[in-house]
Amino acid sequence: MLTWFSLAPAIGQAADPTKVKAAFLYNFVKFIHWPQTNETSNEFKLCIYGEPALFELMQKIPAKSIRGQALLILDIQQPTLLQQCQLVYMRTQNYTATQFILDNLSAHPILTVSDVDTFAKSGGMIEFKQKEQKLRFEINNSAAELAGLRISSKLLELALEVY
């Protein structure tokens, strides 16, 4: 069932762009290392902010563990609630909103992903980009390092741009 997410949409990429996005989000986790904290729970919270369609899709992932933790897909409405997550995908309306959320999360080891333009340049960690009909991404590795996240060189290699 997982294959639905992992490879087929990634390779084909002609299919539903939302599906591809979902697969990317899921697969990012495999190439990123989160720091060990005392509060580390047995759950991995993947939070979606502002894109209900994506949430709907990702919820269809059968109950599954990732990195030895139970995978939890959350639809978060309040930016303040995003601090509990390990991965935050956000779709904001403007730069101010984006900055607000990023500021809110900056002290925490939380991977931030968005397809907002210049997201990576302005403090986000991974920014989706469409290139030649394919979904690609940019990475702000400095931001990730500041947050205590270690991104695999394999992933960096795949990025269109690394800041």
Partner 1 sequence: MLLKRLNRLHIKQKLILIITASTLSGLLLMIVGLTTYQQTAYRDQMQREIRILAEVISDRSNAAILFGDTELLTENLTSMRLHQAIILACIYDEHGEVIASSAPRYRPATCPKHTAANGFYDNALHWTQPIVVDGEVMGRLYVKSHLQLLQEEYNRYLFIGLSITALAVLGSFIVALFVQRLISSPILNLAHTAKAIANNEGDNIRASKTTDDEIGEMVDAFNLMLDVIQSRERELKEHQDNLEKTVDERTRKLKIANQELEAFSYSVSHDLKAPLRALDGFSQAIIEDYGDQLDPLGQNYLNRIRSASQRMEKLIESMLYLSRIGRQNINIKEVNISHISYKVLSLLHEGDPNRDIHTEVEPDIIVDADQALIEIVLNNLIGNAWKYTLKTEKPEIEIRKEQDYFYVRDNGAGFDMTYANKLFGAFQRLHKDQEFEGTGIGLATVARIVHRHGGEIWATAEPDKGATFYVRLPKQ
Contacts with partner 1 by CB under 8 A lie at: 2-3, 6-8, 10-13, 24, 27, 30-31, 67, 134, 152, 154-155, 157-158
The residue among 22 and 102 lying less far from partner 1, judged by its C-beta, is 22
CB-CB contact of 33 with 149 (8 Å): yes
Least distance from partner 1 to the Cβ atom of residue 66, Å = 8
Least distance from partner 1 to the Cβ atom of residue 10, Å = 4
The residue among 108 and 136 lying less far from partner 1, judged by its C-beta, is 136
Q: Which residue has the tokens 């991104």?
A: 151
What does the radius of gyration of the chain's CA atoms come to, in whole angstroms?
15
Sign of CA dihedral 29, 43, 22, 50: negative
Least distance from partner 1 to the Cβ atom of residue 115, Å = 15
Least distance from partner 1 to the Cβ atom of residue 30, Å = 5
CB-CB contact of 111 with 144 (8 Å): yes
The residue among 110 and 139 lying less far from partner 1, judged by its C-beta, is 139
CB-CB contact of 46 with 25 (8 Å): yes
